[in-house]
């Protein structure tokens, strides 16, 4: 496996494992009825969480090649791998257009 794919897998696992913790800190930091000191501590705790645990840091990558551009979300394949698999008939419901 390529290192980019492994890094992507690691980041996705980090997001899942830290999701509840991030949600709690985010709620506490945005709650205006709380004491300002508690809100500030929640903001600091939220900023201390690892960058890879942030969902917006995850980019879509091809599961075969690790390419980060031209990825079809539904199949998680880049355009070239999608074309090869579609022509081989590996993708159900995908046919080559002819008119």
User: In this predicted model, what pLDDT tens digit does every residue of 11-67 receive, in sequence order?
Assistant: 889 999 999 999 999 999 999 998 999 999 999 999 998 888 888 888 888 888 889
The pLDDT score that the predictor gives to residue 9 is 87
Q: Which fold has domain 61-99?
A: 30s Ribosomal Protein S14; Chain N (4.10.830)
Nearest-CA neighbor of 18 among 65, 55, 62?
Answer: 55
The pLDDT score that the predictor gives to residue 24 is 93
C-beta of residue 56 within 8 angstroms of C-beta of residue 46: no
Whether CATH 2.102.10.10 fits 1-58: no
The pLDDT score that the predictor gives to residue 65 is 87
C-beta of residue 60 within 8 angstroms of C-beta of residue 76: yes
| Res. 1 pLDDT band, cuts 50 70 90 | low
H-helix or E-strand containing 14?
Answer: helix 3-30
The pLDDT score that the predictor gives to residue 43 is 95
Q: How many angstroms separate the Cα of 3 from the Cα of each of 15, 36, 65, 70? A: 18, 43, 10, 19
The pLDDT score that the predictor gives to residue 53 is 85
H-helix or E-strand containing 46?
Answer: helix 36-48
pLDDT exceeds cutoff 80 at 78: yes
Task: Give whichever of 3-12, 51-60, 83-92 has the largest mean pLDDT.
Answer: 83-92
Domain with CATH 4.10.830.10 in the chain: 61-99
Domain with CATH 1.10.287.1480 in the chain: 1-58
H-helix or E-strand containing 77?
Answer: strand 77-78
């Amino acid at each position: 496996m390529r290192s980019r794919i492994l890094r992507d897998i690691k980041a996705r696992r980090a997001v899942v494992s830290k999701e509840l913790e991030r949600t709690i800190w985010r709620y506490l930091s945005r709650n205006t009825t709380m004491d300002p000191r508690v809100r500030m501590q929640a903001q600091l705790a939220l900023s201390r969480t690892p960058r890879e645990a942030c969902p917006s840091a995850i980019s879509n990558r091809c599961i075969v090649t690790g390419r980060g551009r031209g990825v079809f979300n539904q199949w998680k394949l880049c355009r070239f791998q999608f074309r090869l698999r579609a022509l081989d008939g590996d993708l159900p419901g995908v046919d080559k257009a002819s008119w």
